[in-house]
Structure 1
Amino acid sequence: MATNNYRIHLISNNENLRRKLYNVNYFEEVSMSTSLDEIEEDIAIIDDRIIGVNDLLEDRGKISSRYIFYQVSNDNFKFSTKSILESNEIKLIQPYMTDENIVEYVCSEVIKKYRLTVNKNIVTFFGADSKVGTTQIAQSISERIIDKSYARVCLIFLDGEAGTDYIDINFRNNIDTIKIKLISELATVDEIFDIAEKVKNNLYIIEGTKSILYRKEYQPENISYLLNILSLACDLVVVDAGSCIDRAMPITALTSTNHRYLVTTQQANSLRRYMEKKPILDRLSLDDFQVIVNKHMADGSLLTTYDVAKAYGHPYLSKIEFSKYALQAENDKKALIHYNDKEVNKDFNKLVDIIIEQLNLSKKETPRKRKWFGMQGVG
């Protein structure tokens, strides 16, 4: 079957959803009704406000569709419902999903080609080692992106640590607060944002795990579930994946996107530690990074930015100059962009502009400076 030749049947009253599905190139026919008769289309989407779960299960034999989706409302969102649907090869559409989210989800489940790009709004920062400044980079970029764009951004720490070293607020919750619901794949978008702190307009931060024991309990599918929800609810998800590759959290954060940024320095130790991890990264097909050279120093005895990138075997993206405020930022629990370091701020602005362009985010217009024309010769 060609990927652009799917037929969909909706049992729903949602004309807006039907119209949005019809506008997807992959779907040549989208029909809609309010009764469960014989369904032979490739994809069936059924609203629980039209067909109850027991009626659906009783008439399951009438549906010969290859893919069946069941949209549940808040009142019917229970673990038992999810389990029963899965045992009948029916995929659950959760109540938090908007019509746009449903279209995205159906495409990601049905179309292999679409699956490869569904998380196009996730960016993951990974460190060559633990001392290159990955957390500072991820946070500074998140804060600067909301200054320069209209994007709703969520910064999440998935390195097996809390990650909030540069945020001077008391986090009431962290990812462990909803661990059970993540593992059972029952966490809703509201519950996920309940554990996030809104630190600025349009910037939400989810603190990572604080438990050495808990970080071992998260499986790739749990983190993938979390990231999928965040990618639907936000314009951009920024992930600090730390520098370890022996945990499900960073591995899933890296495999969930094609936008991977390798943070490193000009130090030889950083390269050595990265090369120790490279065989594992290669086996996971994680051999595609863009290089950010942090703490850069223009010193003839050190590698240039492009030479650093060549040593890692990845293309060079940008650099962040070494800042004399680095220790102060650590003590103040602030991002480096809050200090009057012109070169560092210039570098961050350049890097953020590149990322905004790569992610196709809606950028704020920079106000033009008004020229002042003096009134000469008046007197």
Structure 2
Amino acid sequence: MEQVQSKYKIEIIESMHSMPPGTVNEIVLIDEKGIELQDLLTQIEGQSDSSIVYVVDDVSNAKQAFASAHGMHIVRANALMSYLEEIHTDIHKQPVLAFWGVLPQLGTTTIALAVANQLALSTGMNVGILGLNLYNPGTSFAHDVTNTLDDVRPLLSLKQLTPTKLRESMQLMSQGVWYLPGPRNPLNAMEYQPEEIAYLISNAKQAFELVIVDVGSILNTAAALQSLVMATLRYVVTKDLLECQERFISQSQYILKSLSINTEEILLIGNQMRQPNHLRDYAKTMNVLPVAAIPSFPELPYYSENEEDKLRLYFAQKKFKQAIEQIVNAFSNEK
């Protein structure tokens, strides 16, 4: 493994006998050519104070699952430098807001765009929105879209994307808000790799003062999982239905837990709520933090279908606007 230059202390492990006991470095790189996957557990004992990174030539689903189960990171060798840059630079602290829905069609795109619009308006921030729901491009709010995630994919694969190129590829939605919709073809959803998504978000953090990722509701893609891992604030969007609660519990047990995401750190947005005043009680059953409740507006999607500025109709609803302002205020206070 090539020597890695960093201002942070790094231990590079290339053989079964090269890891000193009780290493407490900030990051430990382990080369798969020197230590096989089956031998890793023995080697990382006593390294709980370190960040373990297993460096491989190829990432498989099995390797990814094994690493997640044991609290390690797994990175391709050709993406190691960009990975280290991402986790150990100042932009790592820059805010990334992730919105995901417990079920499909719960309005994550609408909420992400509305929050970005309100943040840009109230704070003057430049906000970039990444459509990382790979099963739905989220283009209904964006007219005359010329670029989607598909169009920047080659730049991700070749590591040739720059913050400037990314910004130029995104659509200006309103003053201070840029948007890159998801891919046109959902059949390509499983082809995106974690390091490509990490590279995309890293560039977005350099291009904008704040990044919002629209995750969608299907958490089986690298885009969705990497977005949740890199987010500084995670918002789950749900209805007040038992099936939503059960779905969230399933996600928390089998997905969030493996990503080391604690439900107590997740913020709840109730959307299409039948009883918005029950948000607090609903949050308690999910062990999350309530932020805002948006009532159901069943006729609004029909009215807005042919409108060029759909958000204008949503913001005209007093309770919708109040909920978005609550979300923005919660972020502003956290920041």
- TM-score normalized by the length of structure 1: 0.61
Cα distance between partner residues in 1 of 2:271 and 2:312: 12
User: Where do residues 189-200 of structure 1 align in structure 2 (5 Å cutoff)?
Assistant: 189-200=163-174
**Where does residue 76 of structure 1 map in the other structure?**
none
Write out per-residue CA displacement over residues 318-365 of structure 1, whole angstroms, 9 at most, x where no aligned residue.
212323524323453612664521222122222222223323xxxxxx
Cα distance between partner residues in 1 of 2:97 and 2:317: 26
**Where does residue 104 of structure 2 map in the other structure?**
130
**Where does residue 332 of structure 1 map in the other structure?**
307
**Where does residue 154 of structure 1 map in the other structure?**
128
Write out per-residue CA displacement over residues 38-58 of structure 1, whole angstroms, 9 at most, x where no aligned residue.
xxxxxxxxxxxxxxxxxxxxx
**SS of corresponding position for 2:203:** helix
Cα distance between partner residues in 2 of 1:358 and 1:345: 20
Question: Counterpart amino acid of 1:221?
Answer: E
Cα distance between partner residues in 1 of 2:139 and 2:151: 19
Match of 2:224 among 237, 246, 250: 250
Distance change in 2, residues 1:183/1:106 (3 Å): closer
**Where does residue 109 of structure 1 map in the other structure?**
88
Structure 2 gaps of 5+ residues are 1-5, 10-76
Write out per-residue CA displacement over residues 107-132 of structure 1, whole angstroms, 9 at most, x where no aligned residue.
9437xxx7xx8143110001111132
User: Where do residues 182-261 of structure 1 align in structure 2 (5 Å cutoff)?
Assistant: 182-261=156-235
User: For the Cα contact (< 8 Å) 2:139–2:181, is it kept in 1?
Assistant: no
**Where does residue 321 of structure 2 map in the other structure?**
345
**SS of corresponding position for 1:132:** coil
Write out per-residue CA displacement over residues 62-95 of structure 1, whole angstroms, 9 at most, x where no aligned residue.
xxxxxxxxxxxxxxxxxxxxxxxx88x9958xxx
Alignment RMSD: 3.0
User: For the Cα contact (< 8 Å) 1:337–1:345, is it kept in 2?
Assistant: no
**Where does residue 291 of structure 1 map in the other structure?**
268
Structure 1 gaps of 5+ residues are 1-6, 9-25, 28-85, 93-104, 360-379
**SS of corresponding position for 2:216:** coil
- TM-score normalized by the length of structure 2: 0.69
Distance change in 2, residues 1:138/1:331 (3 Å): same
User: For the Cα contact (< 8 Å) 1:309–1:316, is it kept in 2?
Assistant: yes
**SS of corresponding position for 2:200:** helix
Q: CA deviation at 1:204?
A: 0.5
**Where does residue 358 of structure 1 map in the other structure?**
334
User: For the Cα contact (< 8 Å) 1:156–1:238, is it kept in 2?
Assistant: yes
User: For the Cα contact (< 8 Å) 1:175–1:207, is it kept in 2?
Assistant: yes
Cα distance between partner residues in 1 of 2:110 and 2:326: 16
Q: CA deviation at 1:236?
A: 0.6
Cα distance between partner residues in 1 of 2:150 and 2:204: 16
Cα distance between partner residues in 2 of 1:251 and 1:107: 16
Cα distance between partner residues in 2 of 1:282 and 1:343: 34
User: For the Cα contact (< 8 Å) 1:140–1:336, is it kept in 2?
Assistant: no
User: For the Cα contact (< 8 Å) 1:321–1:347, is it kept in 2?
Assistant: no
User: For the Cα contact (< 8 Å) 1:135–1:163, is it kept in 2?
Assistant: no
Question: Counterpart amino acid of 1:281?
Answer: L
Question: Counterpart amino acid of 1:357?
Answer: N
User: For the Cα contact (< 8 Å) 1:329–1:336, is it kept in 2?
Assistant: no
**SS of corresponding position for 1:266:** coil
Cα distance between partner residues in 2 of 1:90 and 1:270: 38
Bigger Cα displacement from structure 2, 169-178 vs 316-325: 316-325
Q: 1 or 2, which has the higher helix percentage?
A: 2
- Aligned-residue sequence identity (percent) comes to 21
**SS of corresponding position for 1:208:** coil
How many residue pairs were aligned?
A: 259
Distance change in 2, residues 1:340/1:200 (3 Å): closer
**SS of corresponding position for 2:186:** coil
**SS of corresponding position for 1:161:** coil
Distance change in 2, residues 1:131/1:207 (3 Å): closer
Larger Rg: 1
User: For the Cα contact (< 8 Å) 1:290–1:316, is it kept in 2?
Assistant: yes
Bigger Cα displacement from structure 2, 219-228 vs 209-218: 209-218
Cα distance between partner residues in 2 of 1:296 and 1:247: 28
